[in-house]
């Protein structure tokens, strides 16, 4: 399914006697995975969200895991698969984005808690996870990402659902952008959920659902500009989005918003976008919109053109994932009849089926497992073709199939893909990518974000004086090596603020209704001041409150200034873990 970043020369360099046999001489064959550690028999690896190849003998596959296999990644070295990573694991929308020969990103879940997949990303380089980022659910905001691509190592994009930020001032399709140093949030004001991203001939291209995300039936996306016919294909230039001049061809009985595009792929020359009947958007309010699958092709730098498909075209299924067949202008696609993206895997009770889409639009479908009970292998969920004579398909239960007429390769011995990665770094702070793999500190929770300034109570009989407390910021003292090793170490939070008038100031740290830390009230003169609060790692606060007692009376206020008051502000560290500035601020 994912972009196969391999050139003709790279293919020739690793092929060892693989002839130019025609695709017709090949057939889909089940490929058993190696037994898990301590096991004697091959077992499926759990839900496969993506397969991607850097070269024909260097591939990756996300796996959701099961009772025998840990969630993570498998890698292919040209001869066999093995589990490369037991962290940053897979789920329905686990995707892979290659950034270099030994550098890539994955979409995963957060390292702490049980939040769903799609709310975190991991950065791999040189055989280690060098960056881990999360963006948690918070009220009225679901920043889940479904797609990923890298144009260069310092230009990576992650596309997600249509959403509204916590403050309500940012609305549209949620994206994250990596500029080589920082992971920051970007919104496309046309809020259709992103289904896939690819890099094609140096450009970042994106496809979308008609609604706010996969399976979001009945949802009407927020649009900055009206779209009489939904714009489902975009180009990303810098940090801006441009609609591609493409709309699906009209079809009898199918409304204009009755089509979802679900997957993209490119072989470097030809790009593909595929999908079918909408399972999102207003027209899908009463269920899936029946229509035949759709395939759209882009040759070189030309415009997107819908293929007039012929042959075996089921109306109850859609093309789920697509793999461009290099140098042929043809493609393979998976067939789906249930939503396999989102928070919960599905498709496990379907039989794996694929479709070949010829260069002329002729379609032929094939069921990969015709045995009785073959449906137990699950729907085909991910597909990739590193060469025109080598294609791979994986299923919702983690079974693997390969189609080749005998391609063989030299074994890839790069050290970055030989061992098993078991460490995911500290996700609590903004990640600095080191030269060496960082120590495992994944239990540490996030530092507080910059806090909104509290406002002191003001008597109604005069204009409000300057806020008593302003410019509030929170951070933590650097941890000692001993603290980093402790599961529930004490962490010292430093609350800095500007005080407008002489006052007695204290701090209360809360997690829910429970007080988890307190700084005793002290008397301060006006100026920039600070208080320290000791908290435990496992009971990190989500709310910081100030206790304020004015010791002077503003000129326009009559009466004493000795009333105690409490002002609060949220320290919602979970929503911005690892994303400097906050994914939702």
pLDDT digits (tens, 9 = 90+) for 46-68: 999 999 999 999 999 999 998 89
Pair 504, 398 in one domain? no
**Residue 452 has what pLDDT?**
52
Q: Is the pLDDT of residue 126 over 80?
A: yes
Average pLDDT of the residues in 383-407: 95
| Average pLDDT of the chain, as a whole number | 81
Higher model confidence: residue 157 or residue 39?
Answer: 157
Pair 89, 208 in one domain? yes
The bridge status of strand 400-404 relative to strand 390-395 is antiparallel
**Residue 450 has what pLDDT?**
47
**Residue 456 has what pLDDT?**
57
Model confidence band, residue 338 (pLDDT cutoffs 50, 70, 90): confident
**Residue 552 has what pLDDT?**
77
Higher model confidence: residue 140 or residue 556?
Answer: 556
Average pLDDT of the residues in 372-377: 66
**Residue 221 has what pLDDT?**
92
Q: Is the pLDDT of residue 447 over 70?
A: no
Pair 42, 157 in one domain? yes
Domain count, the chain: 2
Pair 373, 495 in one domain? no
Average pLDDT of the residues in 394-414: 94
Domain boundary among 384, 417, 450: 417
Model confidence band, residue 570 (pLDDT cutoffs 50, 70, 90): very low
Pair 248, 168 in one domain? yes
For position 484, which CATH number holds?
2.60.40
Higher model confidence: residue 483 or residue 400?
Answer: 400
Is position 120 within any domain? yes
For position 214, which CATH number holds?
2.130.10.10
Is position 439 within any domain? no
Higher model confidence: residue 518 or residue 563?
Answer: 518
Is position 407 within any domain? yes
What domain range is 199 assigned to?
Answer: 8-417
Higher model confidence: residue 109 or residue 432?
Answer: 109
Strand, coil or helix: what is 374? Answer: helix
Please tell me the distance from the alpha carbon of residue 463 to that of residue 459, in angstroms, as a whole number.
Answer: 8
pLDDT digits (tens, 9 = 90+) for 486-508: 777 888 888 888 888 898 999 88
Is position 274 within any domain? yes
Model confidence band, residue 237 (pLDDT cutoffs 50, 70, 90): very high
Q: Which of 363, 274, 356, 358 is nearest to 312 (CA)?
A: 363
Domain boundary among 417, 451, 478: 417
pLDDT digits (tens, 9 = 90+) for 175-206: 999 999 888 888 998 999 999 999 999 999 99
**Residue 114 has what pLDDT?**
65
Q: Which of 502, 445, 507, 444 is nearest to 472 (CA)?
A: 507
**Residue 244 has what pLDDT?**
94
Average pLDDT of the residues in 563-580: 31
Q: Is the pLDDT of residue 265 over 90?
A: yes
Q: Which residue has the tokens 């479908």?
A: 365
Is position 536 within any domain? yes
Is position 485 within any domain? yes
Give φ, ψ of 576 to 5 degrees: -130, 25
Pair 44, 126 in one domain? yes
Give the global pTM. Answer: 0.71
**Residue 120 has what pLDDT?**
87
Model confidence band, residue 426 (pLDDT cutoffs 50, 70, 90): low
Pair 61, 203 in one domain? yes
DSSP state of 403: E
Is position 461 within any domain? no
Pair 405, 485 in one domain? no
Higher model confidence: residue 319 or residue 371?
Answer: 319
Q: What is the DSSP string of 247-301?
A: -PPP-TT--TT-EEEEEEEE-SSEEEEEEEE-SSBGGGTTS------EEEEEETT
Domain boundary among 373, 389, 417: 417
Structural contact between residues 347 and 381, judged by C-beta atoms closer than 8 angstroms: yes
- Could you give the percent of the chain with pLDDT greater than 70? 79
Higher model confidence: residue 293 or residue 556?
Answer: 293
Model confidence band, residue 451 (pLDDT cutoffs 50, 70, 90): low
Please tell me the distance from the alpha carbon of residue 234 to that of residue 237, in angstroms, as a whole number.
Answer: 10
Pair 165, 239 in one domain? yes
Rg for the chain, CA atoms, rounded:
27
Q: Which of 545, 566, 549, 555 is nearest to 466 (CA)?
A: 555
Model confidence band, residue 455 (pLDDT cutoffs 50, 70, 90): low
The pair of structure tokens assigned to 417 is: 């893909």
DSSP state of 190: B
Pair 226, 311 in one domain? yes
**Residue 166 has what pLDDT?**
65
Please tell me the distance from the alpha carbon of residue 375 to that of residue 171, in angstroms, as a whole number.
Answer: 41
Strand, coil or helix: what is 385? Answer: strand
Is position 268 within any domain? yes
Model confidence band, residue 429 (pLDDT cutoffs 50, 70, 90): very low
Model confidence band, residue 374 (pLDDT cutoffs 50, 70, 90): low
Pair 240, 151 in one domain? yes
Higher model confidence: residue 325 or residue 444?
Answer: 325
Which residues fall within 8 angstroms of residue 519, CB to CB, at 6 or more apart? 495, 506, 507, 508, 531, 532, 533
Pair 188, 248 in one domain? yes
């Amino acid at each position: 399914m994912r972009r196969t970043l391999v050139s003709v020369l790279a293919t020739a360099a690793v092929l060892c006697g693989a002839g130019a046999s025609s695709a017709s001489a090949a057939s889909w064959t089940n490929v058993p995975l190696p037994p898990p550690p301590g096991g004697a028999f091959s077992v499926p690896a759990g839900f496969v969200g993506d397969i991607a190849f850097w070269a024909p003998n260097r591939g990756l596959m996300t796996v959701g895991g099961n009772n025998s296999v840990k969630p993570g990644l498998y890698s292919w070295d040209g001869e066999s698969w093995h589990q490369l990573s037991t962290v940053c694991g897979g789920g329905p929308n686990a995707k892979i984005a290659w950034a270099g020969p030994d550098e890539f990103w994955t979409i995963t879940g957060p390292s702490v808690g049980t939040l769903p997949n799609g709310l975190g990303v991991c950065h791999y380089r040189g055989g280690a996870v060098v960056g881990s980022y999360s963006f948690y659910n918070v009220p009225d905001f679901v920043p889940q990402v479904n797609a990923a691509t890298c144009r260069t190592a310092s230009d990576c994009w992650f596309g997600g659902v249509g959403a509204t930020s916590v403050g309500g001032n940012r609305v549209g399709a949620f994206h994250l952008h990596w500029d080589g140093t920082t992971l920051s949030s970007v919104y496309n004001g046309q809020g259709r959920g992103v289904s896939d991203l690819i890099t094609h001939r140096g450009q970042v291209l994106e496809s979308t659902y008609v609604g706010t995300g996969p399976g979001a039936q009945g949802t009407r996306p927020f649009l900055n500009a009206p779209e009489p016919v939904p714009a489902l294909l975009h180009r990303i230039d810098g940090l801006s989005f441009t609609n591609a001049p493409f709309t699906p061809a009209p079809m009898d009985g199918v409304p204009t918003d009755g089509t979802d595009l679900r997957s993209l792929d490119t072989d470097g020359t030809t790009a593909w976008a595929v999908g079918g009947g909408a399972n999102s958007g207003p027209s899908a309010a009463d269920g899936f919109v029946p229509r035949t699958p759709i395939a759209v092709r882009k040759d070189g730098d030309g415009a997107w053109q819908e293929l007039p498909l012929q042959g075996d075209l089921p109306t109850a299924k859609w093309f789920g994932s697509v793999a461009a067949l290099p140098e042929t202008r043809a493609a393979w696609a998976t067939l789906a009849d249930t939503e396999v993206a989102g928070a919960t895997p599905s498709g496990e009770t379907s039989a794996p089926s694929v479709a070949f889409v010829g260069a002329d639009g002729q379609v032929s479908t094939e069921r990969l497992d015709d045995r009785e009970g073959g449906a137990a292998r699950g729907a085909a969920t991910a597909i990739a073709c590193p060469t025109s004579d080598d294609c791979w398909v994986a299923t919702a239960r983690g079974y693997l199939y390969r189609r080749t007429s005998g391609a063989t390769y030299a074994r890839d011995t790069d050290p970055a893909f030989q061992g098993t990665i078991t460490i995911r770094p500290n996700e609590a702070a903004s990640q600095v990518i080191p030269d060496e793999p960082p120590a495992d500190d994944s239990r540490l929770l996030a530092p507080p974000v910059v806090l909104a300034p509290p406002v002191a109570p003001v008597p109604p009989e005069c204009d409000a004086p300057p806020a008593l407390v302003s410019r509030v910021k929170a951070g933590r003292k650097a941890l000692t090596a001993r603290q980093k090793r402790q599961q529930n170490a004490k962490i010292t939070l430093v609350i800095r603020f500007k005080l407008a008038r002489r006052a007695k100031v204290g701090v209360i740290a809360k997690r829910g209704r429970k007080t988890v830390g307190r700084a005793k009230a002290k008397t301060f003169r006006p100026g920039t001041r600070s208080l320290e609060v000791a908290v435990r790692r496992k009971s990190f606060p989500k709310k910081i409150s100030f206790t304020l007692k004015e010791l002077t009376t503003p000129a326009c206020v009559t009466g004493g200034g000795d009333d105690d008051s409490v002002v609060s502000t949220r320290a919602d560290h979970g929503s911005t873990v690892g994303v400097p500035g906050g994914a939702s601020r």
